[in-house]
Amino acid sequence: MKNRKEQRQRRHQRLRQRVKGTAERPRMSICVSNQHLYVQFIDDDAQCTLASASTAGAKAAVNCAAARALGQTAAEAALAKGLSRVVVDRGGFRYHGRVKELVEAAVAAGLSISDKGKTEEESK
């Protein structure tokens, strides 16, 4: 029987086969640890990080409120770099709790989330 970490890594591998970031629509990679949350906006074509944000500097607890604040901060960092459309890479984590709050806060702050790397015409 596999442990939770191995299961999450396998889910992430399956997810990464479908999700790919470009310069126009980078991948918003989310990582959740026991102590911090991390967000990176990655261009997979150029293999570079365009913007990032984390709760590593904050001394507050990493809960849903911190995830909302990080989503707002990450969206502001992305918008400052000219990134308005992103593809979400939840990193094998369930779309629930802190991950969900982070993404919803980023959308509320002005980011446009596309579905699994598809264009808006393909999503319809």
Q: What is the pTM of this model?
A: 0.81
Total domains in the fold of the chain? 1
Residue 57 has what pLDDT?
Answer: 83
Task: Give me the sign of the Cα torsion angle 38, 105, 49, 9.
Answer: positive
Domain membership of residue 57 as a residue range: 4-123
pLDDT string in tens for the chain (124-residue length) = 678 889 888 888 887 777 778 888 999 999 999 899 999 999 989 999 999 999 998 787 889 999 999 999 999 999 999 999 999 998 888 899 999 999 999 999 999 997 654 444 444 4
Residue 61 has what pLDDT?
Answer: 83
Residue 109 has what pLDDT?
Answer: 96
The domain that holds 43 is classified in CATH as 3.30.420.100
114 contacts 54 by C-beta, under 8 angstroms: no
Alpha-carbon span 65 to 101, nearest angstrom: 8
Phi, psi of 61 (to 5 degrees): -65, 150
